Amino acid sequence: RISAEGLYVSGQFHLWNRLGTGLKRVVLEGHNPVELVFTITYFSRFGPGAYDVRVPVPPGEEATAERVMTRLSSRPSSSRSRQ
């Protein structure tokens, strides 16, 4: 599941709408399988960090993935406004 506030994949929530977190980028990568790659930023007591979450795109859903990428890439990000 993917929303404007985060995503749920492989039994884990990844949120970017909380204080100190942000969605840095969303890109489509690969050919077989195609994946949506979400780069999520965060602040911790050790300083800033980032990690990627890879979501496989089912065959035939590449256009949907492209729309998700475009929509999420165009939204304002709290982490971008601080950089």
- Number of domains present in the structure of the chain: 1
Cα 37 from Cα 55, distance rounded (Å):
6
Per the domain annotation, does 48 fall within a domain?
Answer: yes
φ, ψ of residue 78 in degrees (nearest 5): -65, -35
pTM listed for this prediction = 0.84
Q: Is residue 1 part of a domain?
A: no
For 20-70, how does the pLDDT look when each residue is reduced to its tens digit (9 = 90+)?
999 999 999 988 889 999 999 999 999 999 999 999 999 999 999 999 999
What DSSP character marks residue 2? Answer: B
Q: Which domain does 24 fall in, by range?
A: 6-77
